[in-house]
């Protein structure tokens, strides 16, 4: 993080959740996993992230439940501290400073207040040792652990390489090349110990699992081999009772072996990416697997996937960063053959769109179809994707797919597949963006030297199939390779870059209007100005940033900088240029019409920035400072060379975020919906009122504090509120001045009396002969049975009335 005045560069979501094995709590309600510099607490039923335990300043390398108190959790980090958390409330209880980076750590029931950590040897940083740490017993928040004792040296820093057997009676450790337990002739990858038996299971790189027994006696150990996996076993785990052994590997199949009946096994195939970790909940009811595609799958007793927690996949980003105009989600390629839609506001993966629609074969070294390009049209109703597969050097399989947004299912539906749209790789793709025009146009440029325009054509003859995309125009320019293309904001011009030459075409007539060129250096990025700057066309070369005026067809200005990425803000005239200079990247935000940049930021990050995007904000910021005004309408996200997603925030925004997060953390763990805010608060108030009413009965000073709930009600958007009829009474009640229960009861009684009186008035006319004692008696009975409801009372009166008239008649006679 680099500070720069008011605006800061911050990491933004999407951290790894599959780095270390997750932990399921004793009640199976929560799942805890290390995620970057924090520990995330997920609900196993709703997949929702409930807390983020923040405090570490380095990468969190492990999470463990505290053996003595299962409502607390330890976490270790590369910053050399162990922290103890209360995960239900998300509170840091204790910090224990070790002083060395902790690569992984273990605890066992037998050893109270002892934590075993893996740290690098002081002598050689590349070798690691297992160290027992005695946690000091003190009430302080911050303690320093002094008692350290080395247990085992030369261990593997991978947490899967060490296991504690039988509640900590022995330690099994495997190493990369040699074997701590001798006799292996294949590289060990992971180890697990049976919880009850003297049995150790080891996974190997050749896909075999070996079960070792009788190792207490030297040189008399025996082992048996289980073989199903065809490549490396990456994780092993025994169920808590020791009845089953779970194993997983790159095949993405969870294999369940029966202990002692190893010929019987169950499979759960196609879980996603390669399995990296397997854990079992302490009661054995839930399994959970981490996958290489940043995903955690929660499985109910090896038969059913009950929940999937998916993080942002940032393995090999080949598409540009894009914004889905509809959902305002960040779109990039994720799992193999998928596009992922990632909500930046909620830091949550919305969904994956399967582009390739082929069975994924989990085998290393196999060439798979990859999504390499994608583009949205301005309204988000069309999506174009390119997938390719390099089989051999000469052969290239290429598919261009066009997806239409389906309003009913709220997702993209495949409309047209164009196989082999070009002879060579597609270098760029863009949609025409006119708002008024009916036809949508897609232009793709390829390394085969051509660019093609595709158009949505109505079905020529048949009516049973909808419109599909057809090639409308093909062109080339001097056999040069087109590198990128861009439409002007109104869609009246198309600019295609052929190495050093920018050609400008008219999409309506497909005429070459003009060519612009400014040697030396091939133009690598191109974009039109917007709004008031729409007469400018900007291009970047390896050494220059160029700006042409399209009215005069001449170069307006140029500056020498190595711009790697040029992005235009869709909502304003602003442009952001990332330029690479001496090992780090600088950012300049400017308007094409103004000579001075609006904002510049040196050394945003180290390495190159090749992908960036402006994301429109949900609500505009009202910053008046000149340097941060460009962030008012949209936010700039970029991807560093290390595949970190970063963004810029202003101080005001950060303060607001902090405030809201505090508010959230103070409340209960379940999700803070506006509905909850409204009703929950109201209930609290009601309780308070009752309390206050009973205590301050005489004074009656406690006016109902309506402002909070009213504010909630008025500020929440209408579509998330419950129905008005439901809220109305509550709202009205909250407006009323609080009165005591007794008083209201009295009023109620009075009201009832009044209505009764009315009825009785009418009755009296008929029952002129009714005697007073009877009335008194009736009143007495009524007062005797106050529990009677109104309806019952009325019924009673009617019966009484009947009786009386009849009686009266008798008396008269």
Partner 1 sequence: MASFKPTKIQVYPKLGEKVTQDTLYWKNYKAPVQIKEFGAVTSIDFSPVTPHNFAVTAFTRIHIYGPFSQEPVKSFTRFKDTAYCGRFRSDGQLLVAGCEDSVVRLFDVSGKVALRLFKGHTKAVHLTDFTSDRYQILTGSDDYTCRLWDIPNATELTTYTEHTDYIRCGVTSKLNRDLFITGSYDHTVKLFDARVEKSVITMDHGQPVESVLLYPSEGLLVSAGGRHVKVWDLLKGGQPLVSLKNHHKTVTSLALSSNGQRLLSASLDRHVKVYNTTNYKVVHNFDYAASILSLGLAPDDASIVVGMTNSILSIKHRKNQEDSKEIAGQQRRRPSYRVFVKGKNYVPKQDDYLVSKPVKEHLAKYDKQLQRFNVSKALDTALGTYIRFRKPEITVAVIKELDRRGTLKNALAGRDERGLSQLLNFIIGNLVDARFTPVLVTAAEMILDIYQSVIGQSPVVDRQLLRLQDLVKREIEFQKDLLEVLGMLDTMFASSLPRKEVPCSGHFEKERCKF
Which residues make up the interface to partner 1 (CB under 8 A)?
268-272, 305, 357-359, 361, 363, 366-367, 369, 389, 391, 395, 418-419, 421, 452, 460-463, 470-471, 473-478, 503, 510, 512-515
DSSP state string for 139-153: S-SEEE---EEEEEE
Nearest approach, Cβ of residue 394 and partner 1 (Å): 11
To partner 1, the closest distance from the beta carbon of 367 in angstroms equals 8
- In the complex with partner 1, which residue's Cβ is closer, 348 or 389? 389
Handedness of CA 245, 248, 251, 254 (dihedral sign): positive
| Between 9 and 400, CB nearer to partner 1 | 400
Q: Compute the least distance from the CB of residue 312 to partner 1, in Å.
A: 19
Residue 622, token pair as written in the block: 């009202």
* Min separation Cβ 715 and partner 1, Å: 38
Q: Is residue 166 within 8 Å of residue 193, measured between CB atoms?
A: yes
Q: Rank residues 355 and 577 by Cβ distance to partner 1 and give the closer one.
A: 355
53 versus 268: smaller Cβ distance to partner 1: 268
Q: How far apart are CA 568 and CA 576, in angstroms?
A: 6
Choice between 478 and 602, CB closer to partner 1? 478
Question: With respect to partner 1, which residue has the nearer C-beta, 474 or 777?
Answer: 474
Q: CA-CA distance, 380 to 398, in Å (whole number)?
A: 24
Sheet holding 114-120, edge to edge: 104-107, 114-120, 128-134, 148-155
Read off the DSSP letter of residue 753: H
Of residues 68, 32, 28, 70, the one with CA closest to residue 53: 32
The minimum distance between CB 172 and partner 1, in angstroms, equals 31
To the nearest whole angstrom, how small is the minimum distance from the Cβ of residue 549 to partner 1?
Answer: 15
Size of the chain in residues: 813
With beta carbons less than 8 A apart as the criterion, state whether 32 and 63 touch.
yes
> What DSSP character marks residue 361?
P
Q: Report whether 505 contacts 493 (CB < 8 A).
A: yes
**462 vs 789 by CB, closer to partner 1:** 462
From the CB of 270, what's the least distance to partner 1, in Å? 5
Tell me the three-class secondary structure of 410-446, residue by residue: CEEEEEEEEECCCCCCEEEEEECCCCCCCCCEEEEEE
Q: How far is the CB of 474 from partner 1 (least distance, A)?
A: 5
Which residues face 400 on adjacent strands? 386, 418
Rounded Cα gap, residues 473 and 494, in angstroms: 13
C-beta of 297: minimal distance to partner 1 in Å? Answer: 8
Q: How far is the CB of 621 from partner 1 (least distance, A)?
A: 41
Provide, rounded to whole angstroms, the least separation between the CB of residue 504 and partner 1. 10
For tokens 């052994």, what's the residue? 245
In this complex, which beta carbon is closest to partner 1, that of residue 303 or of residue 777? 303
Residue closer to partner 1, measured from CB, 257 or 369: 369
Residues contacting residue 296 through CB under 8 Å, at least 6 positions apart: 17, 18, 22, 31, 33, 42, 288, 289, 290, 308, 309, 310
The continuous run of DSSP H or E covering 212 comes out as strand 208-213
Please tell me the distance from the alpha carbon of residue 29 to that of residue 52, in angstroms, as a whole number.
Answer: 16
CA distance 489 to 719: 33
Rounded-to-integer distance, Cα 272 and Cα 313, Å: 12
Residue number with CB closer to partner 1 (506 or 781): 506
Cβ proximity to partner 1, 137 vs 364, nearer residue: 364
Complex with partner 1: residue 461 or 596, whichever CB lies closer: 461
Of 90 and 421, which has the nearer Cβ to partner 1?
421
- Residue 699 CA to its chain's centroid (Å): 51
Burial 306-345 (b: 16+ CB within 10 A, else e): bbebbbbbbeebebbbbbbbeebbbbbbbbbbbbbbbbbe
The encoded tokens of residue 343 equal 């909500």
Give dist(CA 697, CA 680) in Å, integer: 25
Tokens of 307: 């929940």
Least gap, CB of 239 to partner 1 (angstroms): 19
**Residue 426 CB, nearest distance to partner 1 (Å)?**
14
């Amino acid at each position: 993080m680099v500070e720069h005045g008011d605006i800061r560069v911050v990491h933004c979501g999407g951290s790894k959740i599959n780095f270390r094995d997750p932990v399921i709590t004793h009640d199976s309600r929560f799942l805890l996993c290390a995620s970057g510099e924090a520990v995330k607490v997920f609900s196993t039923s709703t997949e929702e992230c409930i807390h983020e335990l923040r405090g570490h300043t380095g990468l969190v390398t492990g999470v463990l439940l505290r053996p003595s108190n299962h409502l607390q959790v330890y976490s270790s980090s590369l910053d050399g501290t162990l922290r103890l958390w209360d995960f239900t409330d998300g509170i840091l209880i204790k910090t224990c400073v070790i002083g060395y980076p902790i690569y992984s750590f273990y605890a066992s029931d037998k050893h109270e207040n002892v934590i075993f950590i893996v740290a690098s040897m002081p002598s050689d940083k590349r070798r690691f040792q297992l160290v027992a740490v005695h946690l000091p017993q003190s009430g302080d928040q911050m303690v320093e652990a002094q008692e350290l004792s080395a247990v085992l040296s030369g261990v593997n820093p991978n947490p899967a390489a060490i296991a504690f057997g039988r509640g900590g009676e022995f330690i099994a450790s495997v190493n990369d090349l040699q074997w701590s337990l001798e006799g292996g002739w294949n590289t060990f990858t992971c180890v697990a110990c049976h919880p009850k038996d003297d049995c150790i299971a080891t996974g190997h790189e050749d896909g075999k699992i070996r079960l070792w027994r009788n190792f207490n006696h030297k040189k008399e150990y025996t082992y048996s081999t289980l073989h199903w996996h065809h490549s490396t076993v990456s994780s092993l785990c025994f169920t808590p009772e020791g009845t089953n052994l779970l194993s997983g590997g790159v095949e993405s199949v969870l294999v369940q072996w029966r202990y002692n009946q190893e010929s019987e096994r169950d499979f759960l195939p196609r879980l996603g990416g390669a399995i990296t970790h397997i854990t079992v909940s302490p009661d054995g009811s839930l399994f959970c697997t981490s996958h290489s595609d940043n995903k955690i799958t929660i499985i109910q007793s090896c038969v059913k996937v009950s929940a999937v927690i998916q993080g942002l996949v940032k393995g090999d980003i080949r598409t540009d960063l894009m914004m889905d105009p509809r959902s305002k989600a960040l779109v990039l390629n994720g799992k193999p053959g998928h596009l992922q839609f990632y909500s930046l506001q909620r830091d949550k993966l919305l969904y994956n769109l399967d582009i390739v629609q082929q069975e994924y074969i989990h085998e290393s070294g196999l060439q798979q179809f990859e999504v390499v390009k994608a583009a949205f049209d301005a309204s988000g109703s069309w999506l174009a994707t390119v997938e390719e597969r390099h089989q051999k050097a000469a052969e290239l399989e290429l598919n261009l797919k066009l997806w239409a947004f389906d309003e009913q299912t709220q997702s993209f539906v495949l409309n047209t597949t164009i196989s082999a749209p070009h002879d060579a790789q597609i270098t760029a793709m863009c949609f025409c963006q006119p708002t008024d025009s009916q036809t949508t146009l897609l232009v793709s440029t390829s390394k085969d030297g051509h660019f093609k325009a595709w158009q949505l054509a109505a079905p020529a003859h048949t009516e049973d199939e909808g419109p599909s995309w057809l090639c409308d125009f093909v062109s080339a320019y001097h056999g040069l390779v087109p590198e990128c293309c861009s439409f002007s904001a109104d869609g009246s011009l198309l600019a295609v870059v052929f190495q050093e030459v920018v050609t400008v075409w008219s999409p309506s007539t497909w005429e070459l209007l003009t060519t612009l060129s400014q040697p030396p250096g091939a133009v690598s990025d191109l974009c039109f100005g917007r709004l008031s700057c729409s007469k400018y066309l900007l291009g970047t070369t390896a050494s220059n940033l160029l700006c042409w005026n399209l009215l005069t067809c001449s170069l307006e200005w140029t500056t020498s900088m190595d711009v790697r990425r040029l992005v235009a803000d869709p909502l304003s005239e602003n442009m952001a240029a990332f330029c690479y200079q001496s090992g780090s990247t600088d950012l300049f935000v400017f308007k094409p019409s103004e000579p001075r940049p609006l904002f510049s930021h040196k050394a945003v990050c180290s390495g190159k920035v090749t992908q960036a995007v402006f994301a429109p904000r949900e609500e505009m910021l009202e910053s008046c400072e000149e340097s941060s005004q460009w962030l008012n309408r949209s936010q700039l996200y970029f991807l560093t060379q290390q595949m970190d997603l970063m963004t810029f925030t202003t101080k005001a925004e950060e303060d607001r975020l902090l405030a809201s997060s505090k508010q959230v953390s103070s409340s209960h763990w379940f999700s803070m919906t506006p509905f909850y805010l409204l009703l929950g608060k109201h209930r609290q108030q009601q309780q308070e009122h009752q309390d206050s009413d009973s205590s301050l009965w005489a004074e009656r000073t406690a006016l109902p504090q309506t402002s909070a709930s009213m504010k909630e009600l008025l500020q929440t958007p209408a579509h998330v509120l419950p129905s008005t009829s439901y809220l109305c009474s509550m709202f009205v009640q909250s407006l009323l001045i609080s009165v005591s229960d007794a008083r209201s009861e009295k009023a109620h009684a009075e009201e009832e009396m009044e209505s009764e009186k009315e009825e009785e008035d009418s009755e009296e006319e008929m029952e002129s002969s009714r005697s007073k004692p009877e009335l008194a008696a009736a009143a007495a009975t009524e007062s005797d049975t106050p529990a009677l409801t109104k309806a019952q009372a009325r019924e009673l009166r009617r019966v009484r009335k009947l009786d009386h008239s009849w009686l009266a008649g008798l008396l008269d006679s």
